[in-house]
Amino acid sequence: MNTDAGPALRRPCGISHVGIVTPDLDRFRAFYETTIGLDATMVFGSGPGHARQAVLMAGDIMLHVFEVPGYDPSAQGLSDAMFERGRLDHLGFTVTDLMALTAIRDRLIAVDASSGEIRPLGPMLSLRFQDPDGLESEINCYNTAFNPSTMRNEDGIVTPEWLERARQVLHASPSTSPSCTTSETSSNCQDTSTTTRRGHE
């Protein structure tokens, strides 16, 4: 795809917010503020044509949360399985390093919201969790052990600076040293408990 449309092209510089629907705003806030660590900046009371709303911040990205009492995606034929959740499939939150990722993992395990497994996904590490509404999302940080030479032939690189841009999105420090090697990630960087947790087999 040719994206060079000349200097007149104006491009988005980021994502301002993501809209989320929940049947229980108080429960949603309790989980995302206490367990995940987001900050609530605004809470709107119900009014003509809308129920309560809240704005939660993840860094400089807003979650605009709408309460719709009785909302049940499964009643509309949607499921909790990946790619079957509707137009919004999951959220990906960023933390600065593996230490922060591990701290949130411990909080998620404590409320039975994650298996605790941390998986390498190319240049990022991923920790999946399921919120009280059943939405499965993830926490990510930069994978300091990632080796670009492991890219498959099927993986096309569109932008030569792709890795640096990924590092920027994941707030990776240029001087960060590897916290664990790729071979260690599946053993030392994950919870090895065999206990089955909600939403994770």
* Domains of the chain, residue spans: 16-70, 90-189
Q: Residue 97: what residue type?
A: D
Q: Which of 9-13, 41-45, 104-108, 157-161 has the highest mean pLDDT?
A: 104-108
**DSSP per residue, 138-164:** EEEEE-TT--GGG--TT---SSTTHHH
Task: Report the amino acid identity of residue 31.
Answer: F
- Summarised one tens digit per residue, pLDDT across range 55-111 is 999 988 899 999 988 888 877 777 777 767 776 878 999 998 999 999 999 999 999
Which fold, 16-70?
A: 2,3-Dihydroxybiphenyl 1,2-Dioxygenase; domain 1 (3.10.180)
CA separation, residue 89 to residues 86, 123, 134 (Å): 6, 21, 11
Q: Which two tokens stand for residue 59?
A: 């860094």
Q: What is the pLDDT of residue 150?
A: 84
DSSP run (H or E) holding 101 = helix 98-110
Q: How much of the chain is helix, strand and coil, in % rounded to 5? A: 20, 25, 55
User: Residue for token digits 């390498």?
Assistant: 120
Q: What would the mean pLDDT of 162-166 be, rounded to a whole number?
A: 85
Listed residue (64, 69, 17) closest to 42, CA to CA: 64
Q: pTM here?
A: 0.71
Q: Which two tokens stand for residue 22?
A: 């929940």
- Provide the pLDDT for residue 126: 93
CA gap 77, 72 in Å, rounded: 10
CB 182 within 8 A of CB 118: no
- HSE-CB at 38 with a 13 A cutoff on CA atoms is 25
Q: Across the beta sheet with 39-44, what order do the strands follow? A: 17-22, 61-67, 53-58, 39-44
